[in-house]
Amino acid sequence: MNKAYLRAITTKLFFTFIALLVLWAGTCSKAYAQKGDSNSKESESETISVFSLDDIPAYSDNPVYIVNDNVPFFGRELMLSFYGEAYSELDSLGRCGITIAMIGKDTLPSNTRIQTPLIRPSGWKTTQYNGLVDGNYLYNRCHLIAFQLTGENDNERNLITGTRYMNTEGMRPFEEDVRFYVSSTGNHVLYRVTPVFEDNNLVASGVLIEAQSVEDDKLKFNVFCYNVQPGVIIDYKTGESRSEDDSFIAIYDSTPSGETETASRISDIQSNSIENQPATVVQFSDPNGYDPIPADVSYVGNKKNHKLHKASCESALKTKNRNREYFYGNKDEAVDSGYPEKNFCKICKP
C-alpha cells in the first residue's frame, strides 16, 4: 500500500468519525433530558454507553479510578471494524475531544519524540513549581493517544493541558502496558481516550482511557485518570494554579505571541467545529447507531423472539438494547435460560 492510498483511507475514516461525532452531539440534549427524567428510563432510549463524571469519586490518593469494571464502552463491532486513527475537531473553546486508534505493531514509532512547544492546548499556562513538582513544570503537553503508540506528535487535536502527575502516574503505565502487549504479541488493541471537561473549563478534569485487545481477551481496561497534581490547587476554568500550603510560588511564563496565536486559531476553527460537547457526560455510540455489545459478552439472546446469537453476529448488534440478554460464559447457560438449540441463529450458528 502506498502512502497516498493510506492517507485517503485515513481521511475517509476521519470524516466518518466526524459524522459520528455530529450524530452523537445531536443526541446529547436527549441524553440530558433522560438524565433529569428518571421515569422515562425504560422508554425508547437510543442511549448507548454513557460515562458521567458524576460517577467518579473525588480524587483521594490514587491517580486512577476503574470505570465499568474495567470493560470498555465500545462494543465488539467497533473493535472488529475500526482501523486507523481519528481525532475530534477542537470545540468552540479550542478543546480536544474523543480520540481513537487501532494500535498495532506497525503503528508503534521507532523514532524518538521531538518536543513541539508551539502548540498551546486549551488552558495552557507554562507554570513552574520548583521543588514541588517532579521536573518542576506543573503541566505537560499531554498526548491523548500516546506518542509511544502511534508516533502522532504535533497534532493539536491530540494534546491537552495535563499535569505532570496525570501524565506519568496516571496515563503512562497504561500506555506502557499497551505498547508491551502489542510489541510482544503482534496483536492489535483498540484504544480510545476521551478528555472530560466540566462545563466550560479549559482544563480537563481527567481523561477516560479504554482499551481492548482484538485477537484475544488478555488486555482490557477502562480507567479514569485524574488531572490533578498533589500539592497544587488548579483552577480548571483557566489553568491558573497555586500551591496548597503557599510555601511554593508559581512561576508563570507568559509569552504574548503564543496567546495571540491561540486566539486566532480558535476563531479560525469556530465556523466548522462540532456542537459543544456536554461537559461531564460523554455518550459513545457505534458508527451505525446501534448499541455496542460489551466486549466480554459471548452470546446475545433476543428476549422477544428467543433467538440466540454470537456476540459478533450482526443481528445481535441490531437487537434493541431492551430486548437483549447477555451471556458471558458458554452457551449452555443460554440454553438453560430459555434459548433452546432450535432457536439458535442460522447465520452465526452459536
Please give the residue ranges that form the binding site for Zn ion (CB under 5 A).
309, 313, 315, 345, 347-348
| Minimal distance, residue 325 CB to Zn ion, in Å | 14
| Minimal distance, residue 315 CB to Zn ion, in Å | 4
Find the helix or strand (DSSP H, E) in which 332 lies. helix 332-336
Could you tell me if 154 and 121 are in contact, meaning their C-beta atoms sit under 8 angstroms apart?
no
| Minimal distance, residue 190 CB to Zn ion, in Å | 22
By beta-carbon proximity to Zn ion, the closer residue of 141 and 309 is 309
Strand-pairing partners, residue 143, are 159
C-alpha cell at 237: 476554568
| Minimal distance, residue 349 CB to Zn ion, in Å | 8
By beta-carbon proximity to Zn ion, the closer residue of 53 and 348 is 348
Q: Which one-letter amino acid corresponds to residue 185?
A: T
Q: Cα(237)–Cα(179) distance, rounded to whole angstroms?
A: 33
By beta-carbon proximity to Zn ion, the closer residue of 227 and 319 is 319
Radius of gyration of the chain (CA): 22
By beta-carbon proximity to Zn ion, the closer residue of 70 and 312 is 312
* Residue nearest to Zn ion as judged by C-beta position: 345
| Minimal distance, residue 347 CB to Zn ion, in Å | 5
| Minimal distance, residue 45 CB to Zn ion, in Å | 24
C-alpha cell at 201: 473549563
Give the number of other Cβ atoms within 10 Å of residue 108's Cβ.
Answer: 15
By beta-carbon proximity to Zn ion, the closer residue of 19 and 347 is 347
By beta-carbon proximity to Zn ion, the closer residue of 8 and 347 is 347
C-alpha cell at 298: 459471548
For residues 155, 161, 163, 167, the Cα torsion angle rounded to the nearest 10 degrees is -20
Q: Cα(202)–Cα(262) distance, rounded to whole angstroms?
A: 13
Biggest alpha carbon distance in the chain?
73
By beta-carbon proximity to Zn ion, the closer residue of 211 and 313 is 313
| Minimal distance, residue 324 CB to Zn ion, in Å | 13
Return the sign of the alpha-carbon dihedral for residues 200, 202, 203, 208.
Answer: positive
Q: Cα(247)–Cα(204) distance, rounded to whole angstroms?
A: 26
Could you tell me if 289 and 46 are in contact, meaning their C-beta atoms sit under 8 angstroms apart?
yes
| Minimal distance, residue 309 CB to Zn ion, in Å | 3
Could you tell me if 316 and 347 are in contact, meaning their C-beta atoms sit under 8 angstroms apart?
no
By beta-carbon proximity to Zn ion, the closer residue of 204 and 293 is 293
Give the number of other Cβ atoms within 10 Å of residue 5's Cβ.
Answer: 9
